[in-house]
């Protein structure tokens, strides 16, 4: 949980995540969301809206948990 908390705090501060988190935009039905790696096997899907930070943490888990 400590690693997830650190990622959330970085996102909430508006700072970019480090390269190791491989933060990127999603597409398709998830096109308004982003995904990052908390650890190599643990993903976080999230969304940031407008100029005011509204951080919506959508889903977390392994790639197969999230995308089948």
Q: pLDDT tens for residues 18-31?
A: 999 999 999 999 99
- Give phi and psi for 67, each to the nearest 5: -120, 10
- pLDDT value of position 48: 85
pTM for this model (two decimals): 0.83
Residue partners of 38: CB distance under 8 A and separation at least 6: 3, 4, 7, 21, 44, 60
Domain span holding position 47: 2-67
What total number of domains does the chain contain? 1
Count CB-CB contacts under 10 A for residue 7: 22
Q: What pLDDT digit, counting tens, does each position of 47-62 carry?
A: 888 776 677 888 889 8
> In percent, how much of the chain has pLDDT > 70?
96
User: What CATH number has the domain bearing residue 62?
Assistant: 3.30.2310.20
Q: Is 24 labeled as catalytic in the residue annotation?
A: no
Structure tokens at 28: 């398709």
With 80 as the cut, is the pLDDT of residue 1 above it? yes
């Amino acid at each position: 949980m400590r690693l997830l908390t650190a990622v959330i705090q970085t996102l909430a501060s508006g700072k970019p995540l480090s390269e190791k988190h491989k933060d990127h935009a999603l597409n398709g039905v998830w096109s308004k969301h982003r995904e990052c790696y908390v650890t190599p096997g643990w993903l976080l899907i999230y969304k940031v809206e407008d100029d005011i930070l509204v951080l919506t943490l959508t889903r977390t888990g392994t790639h197969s948990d999230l995308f089948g």
